């Protein structure tokens, strides 16, 4: 007789206090039970959230509606894409035919066939880790990361050029104007000297990205080049991809906190299969920022659930580290603040937010004392991105992100934000963050300092968060299916996402 769909909670790894605390007190994967609703009153100060009922939660009786919804969403996105391609072109670099940033040059080389075995392995990993919950969670997550990195490498070969794996690492300004073309400044000035002078170097940078982001990006690349070796670009690219796919841990932690072990694993593997991460992880450093930002968001979700000030302080510290590389951490600050107050109340919320602020300020103060990093000077030195306001982007920005997210995330992930999933807590922080991003994208660029569009890259931190939401939905949707069939549904969603990545990668030359 096969083991039950939800296995018992596994013994946590030693030495990881946050996950160990969660592993001791989180819900059992064997009997996840209805989670504590986010709408319930918060517990008294100093007490934990109420324990969950360990009775079997109800399954979603949706039948095939998710399939129908994905088909309808695909038709709607195609319609908007067709409409966009028949609008007059805009003068925005390679971005003449929005909403996707890139040049529409359809190419599918024979090397695209390499995706087939990699995609099959990723789908098999999805089936394995979601049906064999007794497998140690860190082994399961390692399989997700490795298979995701491997599949992403084959996606980069779809257009027939293996150099696409390393084209984001050229240090020659005449070849590509990306971060690495300005890496010589760090070698010339040293780490501290470069960080201190970064606000004044903006006009001298060859890459616009180096000017718009804090100095931590180039310092990260400098350290990577020194450790791995500047003469090994493929190794460096793989290391960057590993960091990018480590965001699967964030998707797992959010899903595990809100819906149980199986939901967390489903979210992790759906993230790894999403077209955005698969297409961008080897060439775009927004995926690296996303890993740090989403880990902070995941820790905030855990802190809210545990009412834990130490976990909140850790989340703030991680966010402080992320601020060394991107100012987009401010969105996590806003969303986390609202989510904490909504879910825990004013008194407990003040305690958690105070701890988070202390953690973040401590990291930034340490960076200022040891490295000379002035976050305010760095932000003030970043250039304006004023462009004529066009209400087209109110729809185009979310549409572009949904296209790169893939149908499982675009439909099931969004559904998990607006529908109360039986047996799971509400992903309030993720919902608030999505709303904040939608509002921000609709504002004029003179105010936001952001160029319109490119959200499939700059919103990369939403992929793991929405994947966690999708994990909650898929877990509830397949809860009453036989174990093998339930795993087959997850594997099928993974295959669908990988297929979309192949299609999109072949449509666009998207590295600019």
Report the pLDDT value the prediction gives residue 456, as an integer from 0 to 100. Answer: 92
Q: Is 110 helix (H, G, I), strand (E, B) or coil?
A: helix
According to the 3-state scheme, what is the secondary structure of 50-103?
A: CCCCCCCCCCCCCCCHHHHHHHHHHHHHHHHHHHHHCCCCCCCCCCCCCCCCCE
- Asked, for residue 25, whether it belongs to a domain, the answer is no
Average pLDDT over residues 446-464: 85
| 104 bridge partner residues | 508
Tokens matching residue 228: 């791995």
Q: Quick check: is 126 in a domain?
A: yes
Could you give the CA distance from residue 239 to residue 179 in angstroms, rounded to a whole number?
16
Question: Residues 6 or more apart from 152 whose CB is under 8 A from it?
Answer: 241, 245, 277, 278, 279, 281, 282
- Number of domains making up the chain: 1
C-alpha span between 410 and 400 (Å, rounded) = 11
pLDDT at 47 over 80: no
The secondary structure of 136-151 as a DSSP string is -HHHHHHHHHHHHHHH
Q: pLDDT tens-digit profile of 310-332?
A: 999 999 999 999 999 999 999 99
Structural domain contains residue 146: yes
Given a cut of 70, whether residue 352 has pLDDT beyond it is yes
- pLDDT at residue number 40: 43
Tens digits of per-residue pLDDT, 92-147? 655 677 888 888 889 999 999 999 999 999 999 999 999 999 999 999 999 999 99
- Picking from 344, 353, 425, the residue whose alpha carbon sits closest to that of residue 45 is 344
pLDDT digits (tens, 9 = 90+) for 230-287: 889 999 999 999 999 999 999 999 999 999 999 999 999 999 999 999 999 998 899 9
In a domain, 493, yes or no: yes
Q: Which residues, in sequence order, are CB contacts of 172 under 8 Å at separation 6+?
A: 181
Q: Looking at the domain assignment, is residue 197 inside a domain?
A: no
Is the residue at 322 inside a domain?
no
**Gap between the Cα atoms of 31 and 130, Å rounded:** 15
Percentage of the chain modeled with pLDDT above 90? 69
Distance CA 303, CA 435 (A): 21
pLDDT at 57: 65
Q: 472 in a domain, yes or no?
A: yes
Distances (CA, A) of 128 to 146, 304, 443: 14, 31, 44
**What proportion of the chain, given as a percentage, has pLDDT over 70?**
85
Confidence of residue 61 (pLDDT cuts 50, 70, 90): confident
Mean pLDDT of 449-468: 90
Q: How far is CA 374 from CA 128, 215, 216, 465, in A?
A: 47, 10, 11, 29
d(CA 321, CA 295): 11
Tokens of 299: 């820790």
Return the pLDDT at 177.
67
Region of residue 41 (left: phi > 0; alpha: psi -120 to 50; beta: else): beta
359 inside domain: no
* Mean pLDDT computed over every residue of the chain: 87
The boundaries of the domain holding residue 252 are: 77-99+116-169+235-283+391-509
Report the alpha-carbon distance of residue 381 to residue 484 in Å, rounded: 55
Where does residue 253 rank: exposed (0-12), middle (13-18), buried (19+ CB within 10 A)? buried
Residue whose C-alpha is closest to residue 505's, from 67, 153, 269, 118: 153
Report the C-alpha gap between 2 and 269 in whole angstroms. 23
């Amino acid at each position: 007789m096969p083991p039950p769909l939800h296995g018992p909670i596994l013994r946590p790894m030693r030495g990881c206090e946050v996950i160990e605390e969660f592993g001791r007190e989180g819900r059992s994967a064997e009997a996840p039970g209805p989670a504590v609703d986010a709408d319930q009153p918060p517990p008294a100060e100093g007490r934990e959230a109420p324990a969950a009922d360990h009775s079997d939660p109800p399954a979603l009786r949706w039948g095939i509606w998710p399939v129908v919804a994905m088909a309808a969403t695909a038709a709607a996105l195609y319609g908007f894409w067709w409409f966009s391609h028949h609008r007059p072109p805009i003068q925005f670099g390679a971005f003449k035919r929005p909403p996707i940033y890139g040049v529409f040059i359809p190419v599918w080389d024979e090397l695209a066939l390499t995706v087939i075995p990699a995609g099959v392995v990723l789908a098999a990993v999805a089936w394995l880790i979601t049906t064999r919950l007794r497998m140690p969670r860190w082994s399961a997550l390692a399989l997700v990361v490795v298979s995701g990195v491997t599949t992403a490498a084959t996606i980069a070969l779809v257009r027939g050029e293996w150099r696409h794996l390393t084209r984001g690492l050229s240090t020659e300004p005449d070849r590509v104007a990306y971060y690495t073309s300005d890496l010589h400044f760090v070698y010339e000035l040293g780490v501290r000297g470069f960080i201190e002078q970064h606000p004044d170097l903006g006009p001298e940078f060859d890459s616009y990205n180096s000017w718009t982001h804090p100095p931590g990006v180039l310092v990260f690349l400098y350290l990577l080049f020194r450790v791995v070796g500047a003469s090994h670009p493929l190794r460096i690219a793989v290391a960057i991809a590993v960091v990018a796919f480590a965001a699967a841990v964030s998707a797992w932690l959010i899903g595990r906190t809100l819906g149980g072990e199986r939901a967390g694993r489903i979210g992790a593997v759906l993230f790894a299969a999403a077209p955005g991460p698969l297409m961008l992880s080897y060439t775009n450093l927004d995926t690296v920022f996303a890993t740090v930002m989403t880990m902070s968001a995941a820790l905030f979700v855990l802190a809210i659930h545990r009412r834990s000030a130490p976990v909140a302080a850790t989340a703030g510290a991680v966010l402080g580290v992320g601020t060394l590389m991107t100012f987009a951490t401010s969105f996590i600050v806003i969303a986390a603040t609202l989510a904490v107050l909504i879910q825990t109340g004013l008194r407990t919320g003040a305690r958690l937010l105070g701890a988070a602020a202390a953690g973040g300020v401590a990291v930034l103060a340490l960076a200022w004392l040891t490295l000379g990093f002035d976050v305010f000077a760095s932000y003030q030195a970043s250039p304006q991105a004023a462009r004529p306001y066009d209400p087209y982007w109110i729809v185009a920005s979310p549409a572009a992100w949904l296209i790169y997210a893939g149908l499982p995330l675009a439909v099931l992930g969004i559904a998990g934000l607006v529908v109360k999933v039986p047996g799971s807590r509400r992903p309030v922080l993720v919902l608030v963050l999505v709303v904040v991003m939608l509002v921000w994208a609709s504002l004029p660029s003179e105010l936001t300092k952001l160029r319109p569009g490119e959200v499939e890259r700059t919103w990369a931190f939403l992929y793991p968060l929405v994947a966690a939401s999708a994990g909650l939905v898929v877990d509830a949707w397949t809860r009453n299916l036989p174990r093998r069939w339930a795993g087959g549904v997850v594997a099928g969603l993974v295959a669908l996402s990988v297929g979309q990545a192949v299609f999109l990668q072949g449509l666009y030359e998207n590295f600019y």
